[in-house]
Structure 1
C-alpha cells in the first residue's frame, strides 16, 4: 500500500520539484514540435501519462524477474508495446488529431522522460508507487506543455483551444484577441518555444528562490506558531 505522505511526496516531486520539462529539461523534441497550441500539447501529454503509468506498473511488477544485464532492452520492449496500443487507439478514435501529432506518438518509445523514470524509479519500487510516479511525472509534463502551447497559440494566433473540435466535435476555439490580430510568427516557431520555455524555467526558479528567501527570514517562533491559528 501507498501512504498518504508517500503519495503527497510523489505528487509534489512529479508536478513541481522534479518537473520533467522545467527542471530535468527532458523531452524537448515533442515540447518544441507539438506545443503550437494547447490541445496538441495536452493530448500528447495524456498519451504519455498512460504509457508512463502502465509501463511503471508492468516494470515494477516484473523487476525481480528481469535480469539486470538486459533490463534496458526489456524496458524498451514493454514501453514499445504500450505505445503501439496508444498509437492504434489514436489512429482509430482521433484520426485527424493523430495525423497532426504524427511521428511524435510512436516517438514516446524513445522519450527520455519515460525511460528515465522506469529506470530510476519503477525498477526499484513497488507497483502502486510506480503508477503514482508515472502519473504525476506525466501530469508535470501535461501542465507544462499545455501552458506553453496555450501561450504560443495566444501570442501567435490570438486564439485558445485551436483544434479542440478534433477531440470534442462541435466545440470551437476561443478568439481571445481581436479578429484582425496579425499574429506573431516567432511564437509559433521553435525559437519562440525556446524563449517561452526559458521564461517558464526562470519563473519557476524565481518562485522557489523567493520562497526560500522568505523561509530564511521567517523567525523560528513564527514558524512554530504557524500551526496554532
Structure 2
C-alpha cells in the first residue's frame, strides 16, 4: 500500500532533480558570454525549483518513508532468515529513497554554487560599468577643470570600489577553490577588472597631482604679485 504510493513520487522527484541539474549546468555555461545583468536571469528560478522539491520531500514523503523503514524493520524481525516479497519491495523503495536524498544533496549544492556564481558575475558587470564610466570621465576632464568637491567625491568612490573588488575577489577565489569548471573564466574576469581599476587609480592620482601642482603654482603667483600696483599694473603719478 505504502510502496505503491511512494515509489512513483520518488521517481518523479528523481526526474525533476536530474532536470534541474541539467538546467543549472546549461545556465552556468552561458556566463562565459554574459554582457548584462539580464543575461543572469536564467538562474532566478532554479533555487525556487530546488526549494519546491525540498518541500515535497519534507511535507509529503518524509513521514511515509519513515513509516516504510519501520515496516521493513518489523518484517525483518518476523522473518529474519529470509526476505519475503513484500520486504524486498520495501527495501527497493528505501534504496531509491537513499539515492534520491543523495541526488537532492548534490543538486542543492550545485544550485547554491550557481547562486554564488551569479552574484559574482552580477557584481563584476556593475564594477566594469563603473570603471568604464570613470575612465571616460577622467579622459574628458583636464586636471584644472576638476573642482575640489567632485575630486574628493571621486576619490571616495575609487577607494570604495577597491574595497568592493577585494570582496569580489574573495568570492571568486572561493569558486576557484571549489574547482568550478568556470574557474579559468573567473580568474580572467578578476585579472581584467584588477587591471582596469589599477589604471583608473594610477591615472587619477597622476591627474590629482597635476591639479594640486597647478593650484600651488597659481597660489605662488598670487603671492608674488605687487600689492601696490593699480588695476592696470602702472604706478600712480597723480600730484601729491
Per the TM superposition, whether the score is higher than 0.5 is no
Return the TM-score normalized by structure 1: 0.27
User: Highest CA radius of gyration, 1 or 2?
Assistant: 2
Q: Which protein, 1 or 2, shows the higher relative CO under an 8 Å CA cutoff with sep ≥ 6?
A: 1
Whose helix fraction is larger, Structure 1's or Structure 2's? 2
